[in-house]
Amino acid sequence: MITKAVIPAAGFGTRFLPITKAIPKEMIPIIDTPTIQYVVEEAVDSGIEDILIISGKDKRAIEDHFDSNPALESRLAEKADQSWYKMVRHISNLANIHIIRQKELNGLGDAIRHARWHVGNHPFAILLGDTILHSDSKPVTRQLIDVYREYHQSVVAVQRVPQDKVSRYGIVGGHKISENIWEMTEMIEKPAPETAPSNLAFAGRYILTASIFDKLDETPRGKNDEIQLTDAMKALLADEKTFACIFDGKRYDIGNKLDYLKTLVEYGLRREEFSDDFRTFLKTVI
Ligand code: UTP
């Protein structure tokens, strides 16, 4: 069973400055709901209630969002319309949220290393705190858990991207073993289109075995002088099989501004509270 999830959310978010100067990127709202709430909900809907958020300096808003707020709650409790009260209570009761701070931002791999003592020796899920994966069928982390249950090996979510855009992503190579599952033989960060082994790109969700922690400890600083999770996963690949799952759903990367705008439009379309006229307008934007 996968019972623990780690959500790295300590990064600077430099691509989203100036808002990220004082507001965590993961708290950027999709209309009215912070990005990281969608990420936590995905973990919970996948059956995981023990969640470790890797936080950092100036990220208190994340902690506060999932904490209770007695003053606000008692004010809302007095209202005839109890829906606001229930919503606020629901957020603080969503999951068992634990927070640990990454004191120096040494990259995603380093952030994951901070989860070692919380996770122990069991396989665990990683959900990037700035990436929403929406699925109408099954939460994407649940899709990965189902693959893990079959193969008992690490599995990462991937999506097809246009061939001319592979150089923006981590790309996996390997061979197809079923309709949506690949056994990985390599992974390359941001390859040139002509050298890319496929157009299957990492999508910000992973189930990894605890062996990743030893690999992370041995991983030297790589790109941007940071400890890269991909480098440690490459080392893991030498010892253990790793699978890629082409997930059913759509990725929204909140870390870049264009994707963020598209996300707002698409989530706006899903909101029934908006008038038909407004939603018709939104459709013209897509
Ligand atoms: P990114 O590389 O997209 O985040 O990491 P970033 O570094 O904040 O973004 P830019 O490039 O400066 O704009 C993906 C996820 O990993 C977390 C981030 O918070 C984000 O949710 N992360 C990244 C950490 O927790 N620690 C790190 O050292 C780096």
Domain coverage including residue 188: 4-255
Cα(198) to ligand 1 centroid in Å equals 25
Instruction: Over range 183-201, report the average pLDDT.
Output: 94
Give the three-state DSSP class for 79: coil
Work out how many domains the chain is built from and give that number. Answer: 1
- Quick one: pLDDT band at residue 20, thresholds 50, 70, 90? very high
d(CA 174, CA 187): 9
Contact between 243 and 252 under an 8 Å Cβ cutoff? The reply is: no
Report how far ligand 1's centroid is from the alpha carbon of 269 (Å).
Answer: 28
On whether residue 118 sits in a domain, the answer given is yes
Q: Is residue 271 part of a domain?
A: no
Tokens of 204: 């910000």
- Tell which atom from ligand 1 comes closest to the C-alpha of 110: 28
Residue of minimum CA distance from atom 15 in ligand 1: 128
Q: What is the CATH number of the domain that holds 88?
A: 3.90.550.10
Q: 13 CA to middle of ligand 1, Å?
A: 6
Percent with pLDDT over 70 in the chain: 100
- Per DSSP (E only), the strands in the chain are 4-8, 29-30, 33-34, 50-55, 96-101, 124-127, 131-134, 154-160, 170-178, 181-189, 200-208, 242-246, 250-253
CA of 240 to the centre of ligand 1 (A): 26
Q: Which atom of ligand 1 is nearest to the CA of 7?
A: 21
Choose one of 130, 133, 221, 224 to mutate for the ligand 1 pocket test, by most ligand atoms within 8 angstroms of C-beta: 130
Distance CA(145)–CA(137), nearest Å, equals 14
State the closest ligand 1 atom to the C-alpha of 105, by its place in the atom list counted from 1.
28
Q: Which residue is closest in CA terms to ligand 1's atom 23?
A: 11
269 occurs within a structural domain: no
Q: Is the pTM of this model over 0.85?
A: yes
- What's the gap in Å between 107 CA and the centre of ligand 1? 7
Is residue 260 one of the residues assigned to a domain?
no
pLDDT digits (tens, 9 = 90+) for 113-152: 999 999 999 999 999 999 999 999 999 999 999 999 999 9
Instruction: Classify residue 160: in a domain, yes or no.
Output: yes
Q: In this structure, which residue's CA is closest to atom 9 in ligand 1?
A: 13
Which is the closest atom of ligand 1 to the Cα of 54? 25
Average pLDDT score over residue span 2-29: 95
Is residue 265, in this structure, part of any structural domain at all?
no
Residue-level pLDDT at 272: 86
The pocket around ligand 1, CB under 6 angstroms, is made up of 8-15, 25-26, 54, 102, 105-108, 110-111, 128-130, 255
Q: Which pLDDT score is estimated for 283? A: 85
Query: What pLDDT, in 10s, does the model give residues 34-90?
Result: 999 999 999 999 999 999 999 998 899 999 999 999 999 999 999 999 999 999 999
Across the chain, mean pLDDT equals 95
The closest residue, in CA terms, to atom 1 on ligand 1 is: 11
**Is-contact 266 161, C-beta < 8 A?**
no
Does residue 185 belong to any structural domain of this protein? yes
pLDDT of residue 230: 94
Of 245, 255, 280, 33, nearest to 146 (Cα)? 245
User: Would residue 264 count as lying in a domain?
Assistant: no
Give the confidence band of 281 by pLDDT, cuts at 50, 70, 90: confident
pLDDT at position 58, please? 86
